[in-house]
Each structure stands twice: as C-alpha cells, then as structure tokens.
A and B are shown apart, each in its own frame.
Chain A
C-alpha cells in the first residue's frame, strides 16, 4: 500500500501543476513585502562613484537626468530615478530631465510628481537634516520631454539644448525657464546620468561621452549591465548601477531606502521559494526513479 501511494506521491510531485508554483510565489511576493527585513547590500565601487559625484555637487550646479526607459523596466529603474532625483532636490542641485524613449515621459512625470511630494517633507539623510521645501518647475528642475531619433537629439544637445528642445514638455519656452538661463549645452552641466532599459544608452556613450567628453554614468537593467562594464574599465563612463541591486546599493548610500530595498527583500524571499521548489522537484525526481529501480 505504502509503496503504491509513495510512487503516486513522487510522480505527482514531478508533474505538479505549474499553477501551484505561481500561486505560492504570488503569496510569497505579496506577503514578504510587509515583513521588515534588512538585506545586506554593500555598495560596489561603480555605484559609490555616482553617489560621490552627486554628493560633491554644490547648490545651483546642474545635472542632466536622462529617463530612457519604458514601464516594463519600471521595477528595476524607477528606484534609481527616485533616489537620485531626491538627492539632487535635497541638495538644491538643478535637474534637467530628458526622456528619449517612447514611453519615457510618462515615467519621468510620475517620478517628478512623487519626488516633489516627498521633498516637501522634512527628512534626515546620512545624519544631515533637510527641511521640507517646495520644488518649482523651471527653477529646481526642467522637464524637456521626448523627441524622436535619440541619436540626433543627443548629438544636437552637444551644440545646444534648444536645437531640439526649444520648448519643454509643458510647452514653455526653454529661454523663459530660470534653470535653463545659463545652460547652452553639455559644457554647462556637471554630468549626465542615463537611466536606460534600451539602446538609447549606446547613443549616450557614443555621442555624448565620446564626442563631447560628457561625464556620464549609467543606470541599467540587470541583464544589460554585464555588457557595459567594459566602458567602466575604459573610463568612458564613471559609474554604473545594475538592476535592482544597483538601485538598492544607491539607496543604502543615500540613506533613503525605498522601492529598490523593498524589491531586494521580496527578491530574496522569492529566490528562497524557488530554491524550495527546486528541492521539492528533485525529491520527486529521485523518489520516482528509486521506486522504478533506476
């Protein structure tokens, strides 16, 4: 009897309906979101350099934040945008935002609205207290929006931002924005941070960094990251954040745990769940083979 039921059990494990896997994973992902846990993510050098570079900026200096990703890369890249934008707003560093991916402007807008809200509250980061302050469009940041043919746009901005963006996303003349007053081209900003889930990043490297010697750092999705390490080695980019992990490292450095830290936490539990399933599958595999005398 036991033999029979055992065999059935192992075979059933082997042929487990994948919907059970989906269900368990969904429960784990949702429930662990609410469990407080500290995931150890020591910052890597290539993330630290980005943080240091922005931390070293003075009030009134400006950076260009390129939000070149679509909603599908939101989970990995949005946290980077959030944490860097907040760091800049807190330090009163001007942020010029472009979005050269088709569905990027929606992403940029969402981030701007959220971070403007967040900066309105007083907060303490790395022991420094910042009072809440109102972020003003055109003064603290400018959102230039989307233009097609990113390669041309990136090259064009090396001459003048106004070549392609005579008006910003809200249809306001660039010349009437206080933040853009002394900004002609890349020479007038400190660095470009490109957060990208597509080949727009290649154009930033090829045209902005190589042709105009722009100081460039990248935030990329996890699968893309490995392909861009060579640029770090050659010095063409000065920093690199890869995927959720890179974003979490940055949040740790900025003392501003948010979306990425939450994501890491959930990811750790999801990985454990997958490991548990792999172990169960292997028990089933060996069990059923043993019974068959293999």
Chain B
C-alpha cells in the first residue's frame, strides 16, 4: 500500500522512482542473489518438492548506451521484460542488473528494478558508478562493458538470465546539452548587456532610472547622524563575499564611508564573515582615503565578531542599545535575525534602512524599518549611486531581459492552457 501511494506522488519523475525502487529491491533481493549462485544445484529438488514451478521467461533486448551529459562512469541499460508467466511459471518480481568487463564474466550485480505490471513496457536502469578507482562501485570510462539482466522471483532458485548485451562504453561529454537553455539565456543576456553598454557610452548618463527612496534616504541619514553627533551602524548581513547581495552592499558601504569621512562623523561595521570583514575594512579605508581624510580611519570601526548567527545578533544589538546610532543600515543577506536587529533599532529610535534579496525576511524589514530595498533594488543601488553610464546601461539590459521573460511567461501560460506542454519544456534545464 505504501508503495502504491509513493508511486503516484513521484509519478512526474520516473527516474527517481526507479532508483528508489531499485534501492529497495536491491535490499530485498541481495540475499537471494547470494543464495541463488550457490544453490543452483538443488533447484530441482527444492522447488519440485514445495511447488512445482518453472523458471520465468528470460528478459530480452538488453541494450546499453552511454548516459548523456556527464563525466562518464555511467551508462543506461534498457531491456524488455519477461513475457507474462505461462502455466507453471513463477511470477517475476523484479530484475537484477549485472555488469562485466568481459562477455564471459565474472558478473557483478549493480542494481535491481522492480517489474512493471505492464510486461510489454521496457525498463530502464541507470548504472551510475563511482569515479574513484579504489572504490567498490567503480565504473571505468572508455572501456567495453557488458550487461546481463536476471528476472528474479519470490523463490530464489527460480530465475532466468537474458542474453549478454553488445559492448558499450561510458564516455565523458564535452558539453552538457541539458543546460542549453541556460547557455542561450546567458548568451542572450550578455549580448543585450554589451549592446546597452555601447548605447550608454554614446548617450552618457541621460538614461532614465526610477528614483529609489531607500537610497535617497542614505544621504539624508548621514546628514542626520552628523547633526546628532552619533555614529552610523552598517550591517552587511550574514552573506559571504560571493553573495551578490553582499557585493552590492560593498558598493553602498564605500559610498557611505566616503560621505561619513567628509562629514566627519563615524561609521561602525561589525562583520559576520571573515572574508567579508577584510573586504569591508578595505572598502571603508578607501572611502576615507577618497574623502581626503585617511588619518580619520580607525581599525576598530570595522571589526569581526563571530560566525555564530545569534551571537552576532547579540553583539550588534548590544552596539545598537549602547551606542544608539543615529542610523542603522542593513544591506545584504539576512535570515532569522532580521527582525531582531530591526526591532531593536526601532526601540533605540534609529532611522533604519534595510535591503535584502532574502524574500522571507522582507516583510520583517518592511514593518520595522523606515526604508526597505526589495530584492533587485539592492543590486540596482550601485548604478543609482554612481550614476556611471556603464552601470546604468547594464541596468537597462536587465529591464529588457525582464520584459522578454514576462512575455515568455505569458506565452507559456497560454501555450500550457492550449495543451502545448512542449513550449515550457523547451526552457527546462536538465541536470
């Protein structure tokens, strides 16, 4: 019964289903396989005494081909099932797959597939071996492999083997064609960006960009901090230096640091990730240098705290409640700590500007902060702040790509509605 329900649930991905079945079957039949090799001599005696049954028909048409889009070490075995049991033949429960490096053996059992109710259906088994020569399941590439399929029954002594397959090799591919949709999109987007970079170069900074209240507020907030004589707290979040949100945040930090240095106020940057910390230090120092006040920079402005999430929050909250910064800026990756930080900031009465691409955390920032940059607005901030033609050009490309995606999404809905599933499938990346 449990098997039944699992089938329907995973019906849209037969490969996985087969693998799961294969595993379960492997376990169920692993003992029988051992027995069967030793006990063939007793077949007649044992089986005739209990129930006069005959071995099932053999499975056939075993074909083997290289598994596509991989590094090698895997092949796909296809075979047709045994014919429905004739009188006296035992019912086939499943099929065991055997592999050998030579036509004559020795054979190694590599997996099992349960039989299908519809015996006319061909079954598929993906033999994905290891790439490590010393490991048990090593499957060599560019070497002839032979396969044999065994139909097994509830009685471990009753089984029948297929013919040995024609040799086949597992080969590594130079190109993952399953990822073609991704490739074409990247290509399209790169060309689009390059085109708009050219346009931007010609037209200068006349490209229009929608105002972002959150970014406008940054300058205002720095002014406020200066008036109040209080520091600005800049939190880069829990992201690593490879997170785009963190990279975008560095841009804004650089800008904030320069302004802060010009206005002779203070910025505090507690960091969570050590690499982010070193970059943040460099960014702030450069900001002070650009403002012509390198001497005003102190090493304890940018510091590393810890890589434990809530210990970090405790440290930042402590800073907020003790130093009462005029402005708290949270830009980057945030998780469960978002509201704890933002609400503490609200208690301390700071002006708060937040921005993240972690969608689950956006509501918390929206309710507890004065300004929130939503998702891509954070990435756009660097273009907005710098007003460099090149960055604006890249932003334009993004807008056009978005328009294309919207059109494709609408087309996809219409096509699916009309029953053309192939349209959506064409955009699916596999593997």
Direct contact between A and B in the complex (CB less than 8 angstroms)?
yes
Chain A interface residues toward B at CB < 8 A: 18, 45, 48-49, 52-53, 55-56, 61, 70, 72, 102-103, 159, 184, 187, 190, 213, 215, 221, 223-224, 226, 233-236, 238
* Min CB–CB distance A177 → chain B (angstroms): 20
Is A238 a contact partner of B20 (Cβ separation < 8 A)? yes
Question: Measured between alpha carbons, how far is A190 from B19 in the docked complex, in Å?
Answer: 12
Additional 20 contacts, C-beta under 8 A, given A52-B2, A187-B26, A213-B20: A49-B5, A53-B6, A55-B2, A56-B2, A61-B27, A70-B309, A72-B310, A103-B308, A184-B136, A213-B16, A213-B19, A213-B128, A215-B20, A224-B360, A226-B360, A233-B12, A234-B13, A235-B13, A235-B16, A238-B6
Is A223 a contact partner of B335 (Cβ separation < 8 A)? yes
* Min CB–CB distance A243 → chain B (angstroms): 12
Contacts of A70 in B (CB 8 A): 308-309
The total of chain B residues at the interface (CB under 8 A) is 30
User: Interface on chain B toward A: helix, strand, loop, or mixed SS?
Assistant: helix
Question: Measured between alpha carbons, how far is A61 from B135 in the docked complex, in Å?
Answer: 24
Contacts of A233 in B (CB 8 A): 12
Contacts of A213 in B (CB 8 A): 16, 19-20, 22-23, 128
Choose among A102, A159, A226, A238 the residue that contacts B132 (Cβ–Cβ < 8 A): A159
* Min CB–CB distance A226 → chain B (angstroms): 7
Q: Which residue of B lies closest to A61 (CB)?
A: B27
Is A18 a contact partner of B347 (Cβ separation < 8 A)? yes
Q: Which residue of B lies closest to A234 (CB)?
A: B13
Question: Measured between alpha carbons, how far is A70 from B309 in the docked complex, in Å?
Answer: 10
Contacts of B22 in A (CB 8 A): 213
Contacts of A187 in B (CB 8 A): 23, 26
Contacts of A72 in B (CB 8 A): 309-310, 336
Chain B interface residues toward A at CB < 8 A: 2, 5-6, 9-10, 12-13, 15-17, 19-20, 22-24, 26-27, 128, 130, 132, 135-136, 308-310, 335-336, 347, 360-361
Q: Which residue of A lies closest to B23 (CB)?
A: A215
Contacts of A215 in B (CB 8 A): 20, 23
Contacts of A53 in B (CB 8 A): 2, 6
Is A235 a contact partner of B335 (Cβ separation < 8 A)? no
Is A52 a contact partner of B6 (Cβ separation < 8 A)? yes
* Min CB–CB distance B14 → chain A (angstroms): 9
Residue from A45, A159, A190, A224 with most neighbouring chain B CB atoms (10 Å): A159
27 contacts between A and B (CB under 8 A): A49-B5, A49-B9, A52-B2, A52-B5, A53-B6, A55-B2, A56-B2, A72-B336, A102-B308, A103-B308, A159-B130, A159-B132, A187-B23, A187-B26, A190-B23, A190-B24, A213-B23, A215-B20, A215-B23, A223-B336, A223-B360, A233-B12, A234-B16, A235-B10, A235-B15, A235-B16, A238-B6
